Amino acid sequence: MKFVYPDFLYALIAIAIPIIIHLFNFRRYKTIYFTNVRFLKDIKEETQSANKLKHLLVLISRILAITFLVFAFAQPILPSGDSAPKVGNSLIGIYLDNSFSMQAENNNGQLLDLAKNKTLSILEAYRPDDQFVLLTNDFEGKHQRAVNKEQFIELIQTVTLSPATKTIAEVEKRLKDIMVSNEAPNKQCYLISDFQKKTSKIEDIKLDTVIPLNFVPLEATTLSNLYIDSCWFYSPYRQANGMEKIVVKITNASGKSYENIPIRLEINGKTKTPGSFNIGPNESTTDTLSFTNAEKGIQMAKISIKDYPITFDDEFYFNYMLKDNISIMVINEKEENKSLKALFGNDAFFTLTQSPKDQVNYSDFNTQQLIIVNGLSSYSSGLVQELKKFVSNGGSLFISSSTAEQSSISNSLNALSVSYGKLISAPSKVDYINTDAPIYQNVFENVPKNLNLPVVEKYIEIKSIGEVLLRFQNRKPFLIHSNFDKGNIYTLATELSTSASNFTEHAIFVPTLYNIALRSQRSTPLFYFLNSNNKIEVGNYRQSEQPLTIRGTSTDFIPEQRNLNGETVLFTHGQIGKAGNFNIYHAEDLINGVSFNYDRRESSMEFFNSEELRSSLDQNGMNQYAILSSNNELLSQEITENTQGFSLWKYCIILCLLFLGFEVILLRLYH
């Protein structure tokens, strides 16, 4: 047995007080007048032995009462296992999980409120002169410092739910990094969380025997959550006043079914499509919402459902742009192409420019969505590099291959992963169309067996790897599509001229080039998730002296801006803390929108219970840890026993009172 405060043992000198009292009889003698001295002598002899016993018992009771009272102040500890009472101050690190999953409830209320109460119970187990470090998912600077009890309680009261998500491994590492530099002789870490399986990453915790870990798991009674997981458009391109379909993925993280749950789509603050859906237990489903696009410009949208008690994931934000037109540049050998002019020149939705290859302005590439290279017999290295940069940044490139005898294009386009074989001068017929390809979807109701397709007088063999869109009878590709970095390349085996083929006069020419042009719209992400290292590409603003700003209802800041591969890229670095739609401005010009949603990892309702947590820790080779009770009344006592040993001061108080009571009884019985 050892003592937490051994200096109090000096007070045992007080035992001398009752001993002195009993050694010296301070009672005054009283004169008794008695007629017969013999009777007085008999009374004295009869009571002498009883008085000695009573005085001895009273003395022992007083000595033991004083002893156990002193022991109570010295706080005796009975070490349990390898634990021993700690000497000196302690530094206590406490992680308070304030992620959105802590919105869940049990019979005692919301888990976040319960977690706050547990931190107070932990404080009760430590001395007033100990220091404490608070850490939440926000990793805020004001939390990551040692404070006293009163300051710590003030910090706890300001903690609210946060969209930030951290793994237990990240939390453990940050806490120990903070605490290792402190010179306190005694250190302990407490992790209070619901220990969600998707975000905990127990297996990533590094083995450390210096600072023990104490896990305090919280369990919710209602494990149900219905949430919007994501959304995407049915078609890759948008048009003003055009019909649109958006697909919404909804997940049911519970064991019960839902029927006729309302779902609503809002665009620019106006309800577009109310609807409803059914979903089974622990399932995901998709619902398609149809609507008509508005006028041109940035469209700010939100899809919403209603669910309780987890509500942070009931809304999903996204945005998209309806552009005025699609810019198309045609690079010809010399003269402009009349077929392309007839197709795009009279349509206000397209802006068509044509120029000879020796008059191309490369700086105009950044403003184009589609570049058509029409039958060039040779390519300069500069043109190839600019085309590569254009496609890499998300542009679409259509290459109609030269069939001139003196053509030298066979190896010119290797940088674009486009390669050719030999020139075929014999007439060939196209007999296959890939109706499953995106550019031909919804073009044909049905395809006849003897479909009349283009006839080609001469062509060059395409050796590139890609999706075959049109094919010759000899199974050689006539038109293929391939992905290149962020963009698309379409390669045609011949020129867009009537001398090479009747492709430009055939009915298939219009839907092929028209849909390629429509799909050339550069699609920016509909949304981003908070807490991710998002890169927001906004075009080329590297020459501008005016910074770009992101603005929302209560947000206005200048993000970090970098120029990567000719694109201006924005980084928010956690400056946006709330889900919603935001505008991007260049000076005072609105140039784009950006949408952020809360991390859906917190939507999962799968958590470690105490046994699963223990099993995971053991599998990870952890040995310096404890899993503590979730009962607030027992938590403080359990901490004391784990860190110090079995405390005996309460029993000392009880024994002190018992011996004092025994003394009173003795004095009254023998009065």
Alpha carbons 340 and 320: distance in angstroms, whole number: 29
Which residues 6+ apart lie within 8 Å of 305 measured at CB?
226, 227, 228, 250, 261, 262, 263, 264, 314
Alpha carbons 464 and 26: distance in angstroms, whole number: 118
pLDDT tens for 102-142 read 988 888 889 999 999 999 988 888 888 899 999 999 998 88
- What's the pLDDT at 239? 83
- Total structural domains in the chain? 4
- What's the pLDDT at 511? 94
Q: Is the model's pLDDT at 524 over the cut of 50? A: yes
Alpha carbons 263 and 243: distance in angstroms, whole number: 19
Structural contact between residues 477 and 471, judged by C-beta atoms closer than 8 angstroms: yes
Residues 387 and 534 in one domain: no
Alpha carbons 148 and 184: distance in angstroms, whole number: 13
Q: If we measure between CA atoms, which residue out of 572, 584, 485 comes closest to residue 529?
A: 572
Please report where in the chains the tokens 């009472």 appear, as a residue.
85
Q: What are phi and psi of 101, to 5 degrees?
A: -65, -15
Q: Is 442 left (phi over 0), alpha (psi -120 to 50) or beta?
A: left
pLDDT tens for 196-221 read 998 888 888 877 667 888 999 998 88
Residues 639 and 656 in one domain: no
Alpha carbons 587 and 590: distance in angstroms, whole number: 8
Q: How far is CA 301 from the centre of its chain?
A: 22
Question: Which range among 213-227, 309-323, 439-453, 613-627 has the greatest average pLDDT?
Answer: 309-323
**180-to-62, 125, 187, 189, 652 alpha-carbon distances in Å:** 49, 22, 9, 11, 37
- CATH, residue 421: 3.40.50.880
pLDDT tens for 429-464 read 999 999 999 899 878 877 777 778 999 999 999 999
Residue 28 — very low, low, confident or very high, per pLDDT cuts 50/70/90? very low
Q: If we measure between CA atoms, which residue out of 518, 265, 574 comes closest to residue 398?
A: 518
**Can you tell me the mean pLDDT for 34-59?**
66
Angle 443-273-224 (CA atoms, 0-180°, nearest 5)? 110
- CATH, residue 164: 3.40.50.410
Q: Tell me whether residue 265 is in a domain.
A: no
Give the burial class of 545: count Cβ atoms within 10 A of its Cβ; 0-12 exposed, 13-18 middle, 19 or more buried: exposed
Residue 568 — very low, low, confident or very high, per pLDDT cuts 50/70/90? confident
* DSSP secondary structure letter of residue 607: B
Alpha carbons 132 and 179: distance in angstroms, whole number: 10
Q: If we measure between CA atoms, which residue out of 393, 387, 396 comes closest to residue 524?
A: 393
**Can you tell me the mean pLDDT for 271-278?**
90
Residues 573 and 489 in one domain: no
- What's the pLDDT at 628? 86
Q: What amino acid occupies position 108?
A: N
The SS3 of residue 285 is: strand
Residue 32 — very low, low, confident or very high, per pLDDT cuts 50/70/90? low
| DSSP string for residues in 483-500 | EETTEEEEEESS-SSTTT
Which residues 6+ apart lie within 8 Å of 186 measured at CB?
86, 87, 88, 89, 90, 91, 643
Which uninterrupted H or E stretch holds 153? helix 149-157
Residues 198 and 347 in one domain: no
Share of the chain above pLDDT 90, in %: 49
Residue 7 — very low, low, confident or very high, per pLDDT cuts 50/70/90? confident
Output the six-digit token pair for 213.
Answer: 């870990």
Instruction: Please state which of the ranges 129-138, 176-185, 271-280, 296-305 shows the lowest mean pLDDT.
Output: 176-185
Which residues 6+ apart lie within 8 Å of 574 measured at CB?
164, 531
- What's the pLDDT at 126? 86
Q: To the nearest whole number, what is the mean pLDDT of the chain? A: 87
Residues 339 and 484 in one domain: yes
Alpha carbons 27 and 551: distance in angstroms, whole number: 91
Q: Tell me whether residue 309 is in a domain.
A: no
pLDDT tens for 575-609 read 898 999 999 999 899 999 999 999 998 898 889 98
Structural contact between residues 245 and 257, judged by C-beta atoms closer than 8 angstroms: no
pLDDT tens for 632-653 read 566 766 676 666 666 777 888 9
pLDDT tens for 59-102 read 888 888 888 898 888 878 776 555 555 556 889 999 999 999 99
pLDDT tens for 335-377 read 999 999 999 998 888 999 999 999 999 989 988 999 999 999 8
Residues 479 and 351 in one domain: yes
- What's the pLDDT at 342? 94
- Of the residues 460, 484, 518, the one at which a domain ends: 518
Residues 490 and 378 in one domain: yes
| DSSP string for residues in 541-579 | -TT-SSPEEEE-SS-EE--EEEEETTEEEEE-TT---S-
Q: Tell me whether residue 17 is in a domain.
A: yes
Q: Tell me whether residue 287 is in a domain.
A: no
pLDDT tens for 473-501 read 999 999 999 999 989 999 999 999 999 99
- Of the residues 478, 493, 518, the one at which a domain ends: 518
Residues 573 and 472 in one domain: no
Which uninterrupted H or E stretch holds 355? strand 350-356
Share of the chain above pLDDT 70, in %: 90
| DSSP string for residues in 51-67 | HHHHHHHHHHHHHHHHH
Runs of H (alpha helix) within 158-299: 168-179, 197-200
Structural contact between residues 561 and 569, judged by C-beta atoms closer than 8 angstroms: yes
- What's the pLDDT at 204? 86
- What's the pLDDT at 456? 96
Structural contact between residues 275 and 243, judged by C-beta atoms closer than 8 angstroms: no
The CB-side HSE value for 188 (13 A sphere, CA atoms) comes to: 20
Output the six-digit token pair for 212.
Answer: 């023990």
- What's the pLDDT at 514? 94
Q: Tell me whether residue 286 is in a domain.
A: no
Output the six-digit token pair for 207.
Answer: 């083995």
Q: Tell me whether residue 266 is in a domain.
A: no
> What pTM was estimated for this model as a whole?
0.77
Please report where in the chains the tokens 């004083």 appear, as a residue.
66
- Of the residues 580, 597, 614, the one at which a domain ends: 597
Please report where in the chains the tokens 């090479």 appear, as a residue.
500
Q: How far is CA 511 from the centre of its chain?
A: 43
Q: Tell me whether residue 255 is in a domain.
A: no
Q: Tell me whether residue 274 is in a domain.
A: no
Residues 112 and 178 in one domain: yes
Output the six-digit token pair for 383.
Answer: 């043109």
Structural contact between residues 606 and 282, judged by C-beta atoms closer than 8 angstroms: no
Residues 588 and 464 in one domain: no
**Can you tell me the mean pLDDT for 414-434?**
92
Q: Is the model's pLDDT at 407 over the cut of 70? A: no
- What residues make up the domain containing 627? 90-222+605-643
Residues 495 and 553 in one domain: no
Residues 348 and 470 in one domain: yes
